[in-house]
Amino acid sequence: MTGGLRPGAEVAGYVIERRLGAGGMGAVHLARHPRLPRHDALKVLAPGRSADPGFRERFRREAELASRLDHPNLVSVYGSGADGELLWIAMQFVDGQDAAALVRAGGLPAARAVAIVAEAARGLDAVHAAGLLHRDVKPANILVSRDGDRVLVTDFGIAKEETGGTATGTMPATLAYAAPEQIRGGELDRRADVYGLGATLYHLLTGQLPFRRETAAAMLHAQLSAPPPRPSRVAPGLPVALDDVIARAMAKDPAQRYDGCGELAEAARAALGGKTFRRVRRVRVALAAGLAAITVAATAAALGLRADPPVDPPPTTAASVAAPWGSADFLVAAFPDLLPATPAARGHLDLSCKAVDDAAVPGIVCTGDNPTVWWLMVKCRTDRAPYPPITTPGEGESAWTRPSGSGTAVWRTDPDQYRGQVGKLDVRFGESNRNFCALQAFGMSSGGDLYDRWWSEAPI
């Protein structure tokens, strides 16, 4: 099957009913589920892209990254695979429109625009908590249900782990909403998505692109050098305070922006003068087995140190820049039995590890096929502020004590698409020399087994 998908065509058992939209990667179709009485949105890689290994890998990564996420403001991924030469991703179908279509249909009241952005911000903050970046935040990637009760962020086609930048000379995001550092190919963190959400808010408030110019080159120049646009100049009825919100969200320097998308949304609400407006109701949708486990795994936080005197993060010197783990090198020095000495080596249980590049909370994520633990994350705050307590509900909680120290652990069992069910374990540490660290792990077939059979012997 290499041509366009027509109504009645089948892909992996799904029956195509109609096309919902199309983009550079492929088309999204409304499809009837092969076994369940429901419709899914089926994204199929464009036939012309299927032969390109780069596009196939990007499509595969979209499914992998999106499947980690479990949040009512994020479109759920139910499954993915190949049908012959066709690659497909089955996603939650949202009966409604994207925010760009709402603007084209006649604009949005300011309160409604802020409400949509606030719900999208919750989803994006969950993305960032998972150690991921969306990198293409724009009105077209924010879906609003027909009844207006649900707002969901979609399209993780260029999402990635929060570990680096965009390669020089490439800029896969939509230019009109891309942060300056994204255009330059610099290092990216969640504040690039804050910029995109700020540009989105401007568009929803005014009906215009933030830096509308005659050519793409002129738009690019404006994004790199022109001051942030003022929405009150385009729509005089808007509070002038919203100008300051947009100015901070779209600051050229990421350090001057809001620290997170939720902070931007709260500032926008306050700029409306504290007016009460209908809050978009958050509705949790049915998720495929496994999303909760994989998702929360990516959302967590990190690892604890021994009771020995802590190893401080190295100062920024030429020697430390050359350290194999960069800013996370001090974690490896503190956990030689858990983490490998270099990224090319293997860690505990033969897991493959990589750094989470966050200056404030450096960490290391390890994954593999070991049945005991197949995913774990280690993070410690460099400012040594206590790590937030565990708030995720669990089926069990225990205070633990061992020669290396003490703390608390919470575990639960989650469904998993491939393993049936898996155990999840969150650990915090009580001593002042490591209460700024956390550990999270997934493995075994239940949370109780993971705690009893792995944690008690873990080389921490």
Check: CB of residue 90 under 8 Å from CB of residue 14.
yes
Q: Is 136 a catalytic residue?
A: yes
- Residue listed under structure tokens 């738009």: 219
Check: CB of residue 323 under 8 Å from CB of residue 446.
no
Distances (CA, A) of 235 to 138, 202, 247: 20, 10, 16
Q: Which two tokens stand for residue 334?
A: 């503190």
Instruction: Give the integer Cα–Cα distance in Å for 315 and 321.
Output: 9
Q: Give every CB contact of residue 169 below 8 A, 6+ residues apart in sequence.
A: 185
- Residue listed under structure tokens 């087995």: 289
Instruction: Give the integer Cα–Cα distance in Å for 278 and 270.
Output: 15
- Nearest 5°: the CA angle 152, 158, 163 is 105
Instruction: Give the integer Cα–Cα distance in Å for 270 and 264.
Output: 10
Q: In what order do the strands lie in the sheet with 375-380?
A: 352-356, 363-367, 375-380, 437-443, 420-429, 405-416, 396-402
Amino acid at 206: T
Helix (H) or strand (E) segment spanning residue 402:
strand 396-402
Please identify which of the residues 136, 329, 357, 414 carries the catalytic annotation: 136
**Which residues belong to the active site?**
136
